[in-house]
Amino acid sequence: MLFGLLVVISSCKKQTKTREEAIPADAVKMTPATDIYPPMCLSDSWEAPVPMAGPINTAGGEDAPVITPDGNTFFFFWTPDVNIPAEKQIIDGVTGTWWSKKQGDTWTEPERIILNDDLSLDGPFCIQGNTLWFGSVRVGNYRQNGDIFIAKYKNGRWRDWQNVGEQLNQDYQIGELYVTEDGNTMIFHRPDFGGYGGYDMWETERTDDSWSEPANLGPVVNSDIDEGWPYLSPDGKELWFCRFSRSGYAGPSLFRTVKTDSGWSEPVEIITNFAGDPGLDAEGNVYFTHHFFSQDGKMIEGDIYVAYRKHFDKK
Are 286 and 46 contacting, i.e. CB atoms less than 8 angstroms apart? Answer: yes
Q: Mean pLDDT for the chain?
A: 92
The residue ranges of every structural domain in the chain are: 37-307
Q: What is the pLDDT of residue 126?
A: 97
- Residue 159: strand, helix, or coil: strand
Give the tens place of pLDDT for each residue, 286-308. 999 999 999 999 999 999 999 99
What residue type is assigned to position 124 of the chain? P
From 158, 262, 172, 256, select the one nearest 210 (Cα to Cα): 172
CA quadruple 135, 138, 143, 145: dihedral sign: positive
The Cα–Cα gap between 126 and 183 comes to 11
Instruction: Say if residue 314's pLDDT is above 90.
Output: no
pTM over 0.85: yes
From 184, 219, 227, select the one nearest 204 (Cα to Cα): 184
From 146, 106, 135, select the one nearest 9 (Cα to Cα): 146
Give the tens place of pLDDT for each residue, 62-88. 999 999 999 999 999 999 999 999 899
Are 169 and 141 contacting, i.e. CB atoms less than 8 angstroms apart? Answer: yes
| Cβ neighbourhood burial of 309 (10 Å; 0-12, 13-18, 19+) | middle
The Cα–Cα gap between 39 and 276 comes to 10
Q: What is the pLDDT of residue 311?
A: 81
Instruction: Say which CATH superfamily domain 37-307 falls into.
Output: Glycosyl hydrolase domain; family 43 (2.115.10.20)
Q: What is the pLDDT of residue 51?
A: 98
Mean pLDDT of 170-191: 96
